[in-house]
Structure 1
Amino acid sequence: MTSAQKAYIMLGKESLWHVATRCHELFDSAKIPYSIAGGVAVCLHGYQRNTTDIGLIIQANDSQRVRETLVHAGFEWLPEKVEFHSPDGIAIQFLIAGHLAGKHAEVRIPEPTGELNVEHKEGLNVVRLSRLIEMKIACGTGSLRRTHKDFADVVELIAIRQLDPSFARHLHKSLRKTFKELVRVANDNQS
C-alpha cells in the first residue's frame, strides 16, 4: 500500500500533507486532542484519492484554543466559510465531537481521543477506520449531495481493506444494513 504522504506528493498536493503535519505539530505541542477525518483520513486508511482540504475532529471546549493556536501560527480564519486557511491557501475544516455525523443520523462524531476512536498513522492522529466508515455512511445517508462521494469512499475502503460483512459488528447498529449493502457493491465491482 502506498503511503498517504507519497500519494499526495504524486498528486502534487505536498502542501496539503505539509499542513496536516503542521497541524499535528501545533496541536500536539498545545496538548489539544484532534483526529484527521474526511478525505485525508480515507487516504491514510488506504484509498489514495485526491482532496483539497483537511477535516479535523476537535472537542467543542477546545475551539478557542484551536483558534488561538492556528492564528498564532499564521493561519487565517475565514468566518464566511467557517474554516481556516493555511498561509498557502489549504482549507482546514472542523468537525465537533458529539455533533450528529449526518442529517437525521443516530451516529455522532467521535471524540478525538481513545483507542476506539483514534489511531496513529504516518505520524498523524487519524479517526479509526470503523468510526470513519460510520461518519461517511451517516453523512451520505443524510445528504443526497454527499451520498455518491461518501459511499464511494466506503466502497473503496471495503475493497482495499478487504472488509467483509462481519466488519459491521464494529459499526453503529443503525448503519449495519447499509454497510452490508456497500460490501455487496464492492464485491460486485471486483468481479
Structure 2
Amino acid sequence: MISTRQVYRMLGNETLWDLAHDCHAALQQTEIPYAVAGDVAVCLHGYRRNTVDLDLLVRAVDQAQIKTAFESQGFTWAAEQQEFRSADGIPVHFLFAGERSGPGAEARFPDPAEQKNLTIVDGLQTLSLARLIETKLASGEGNMRRTHKDFADVVELIAIHGLRSEYARHLHKSIRKTFRELVKTVR
C-alpha cells in the first residue's frame, strides 16, 4: 500500500506533506487538539488527489495558543485571507468546531478534542471517515461552487471503502439522504 507521503511525492507536492507534519508538531507540542480536514484528509483516507492548501479543524477557544505556536514555527499570518502561510507560501486554513459545516447546513464541525471524531493516519490526527464525509457533504450541499468537487470526493471515498447505504447511520441526519443517493451512483 502506498503511503500518503508517497502519493504527495508522486504528485510533486511533498512540501504540503511536510507542512502537515510541521503543523502536527507545533500543535502536538502545545497539546492543542486538532484534526486534518478537507482535501488532505481525503487523501489520507485513500483517495489520491492533490490540493494546494491544508485545512485544520481546531477549537475557537485555542486561537491565541495556535497563533503563538504557528508564529514560533515561522508561519506568517495573512490577515486579509484569514490564514497562516508556511515559509513556502502554502496556506493553512482553520475550521472551527461547532461552526456549520456548510452554508445553512445543520451539521456542524465536530470537536477535535473528542477521540471519537479522529483517527490517526500516517502519523497525523485526521477527521474520522464518517466526520470527513459528513463535512464534505454539508459543505457541498450549501455551496454550488463546491458541490461537484466535494461530492466527487465522497463518491471516491464510498468506492474505495466499499461503503453501503447503511453507513448513513454514522452521519448527521440532514445529509443521510444525499449520502444514500451518492452510494447508488457508485453501485
TM-score (norm 2): 0.98
1:39 & 1:130 partners in 2: Cα distance?
A: 15
State the Cα distance separating 1:185 from its structure 2 match.
Answer: 1.2
8 Å contact 1:2–1:46 — kept in the other structure?
no
State the Cα distance separating 1:2 from its structure 2 match.
Answer: 2.3
SS in 2 for 1:167: helix
SS in 1 for 2:120: strand
Deviations, residues 37-85 of structure 1 (Å, cap 9, x unaligned) = 0000000000010100000000000011101111111101001111011
User: Which letter maps to 2:70?
Assistant: L
Alignment of 1:5-154 (within 5 A): 5-154=5-154
State the Cα distance separating 1:13 from its structure 2 match.
Answer: 0.7
User: Which letter maps to 2:173?
Assistant: K
1:168 & 1:2 partners in 2: Cα distance?
A: 28
User: Which letter maps to 1:56?
Assistant: L
2:4 & 2:43 partners in 1: Cα distance?
A: 6
State the Cα distance separating 1:119 from its structure 2 match.
Answer: 0.8
How many residues align? The count is 187
Q: Percent identity among equivalent residues?
A: 51
1:10 & 1:160 partners in 2: Cα distance?
A: 19
TM-score (norm 1): 0.96
SS in 1 for 2:100: coil
Superposed structure 1 runs of 4+ greater than 2 Å apart: none
* Structure 2 runs not aligned, ≥5 long: none
**Which residue matches 2:173?**
173
Deviations, residues 12-51 of structure 1 (Å, cap 9, x unaligned) = 1110000100111111011111000000000000001010
State the Cα distance separating 1:113 from its structure 2 match.
Answer: 2.1
1:115 & 1:12 partners in 2: Cα distance?
A: 32
1:103 & 1:24 partners in 2: Cα distance?
A: 28
8 Å contact 1:100–1:108 — kept in the other structure?
yes
State the Cα distance separating 1:114 from its structure 2 match.
Answer: 2.2
* Structure 1 runs not aligned, ≥5 long: none
State the Cα distance separating 1:115 from its structure 2 match.
Answer: 2.7
User: Which letter maps to 1:120?
Assistant: I
Deviations, residues 110-150 of structure 1 (Å, cap 9, x unaligned) = 11122320111110000000000000000000000000000
Note the aligned Cα RMSD (angstroms): 0.7
SS in 1 for 2:116: coil
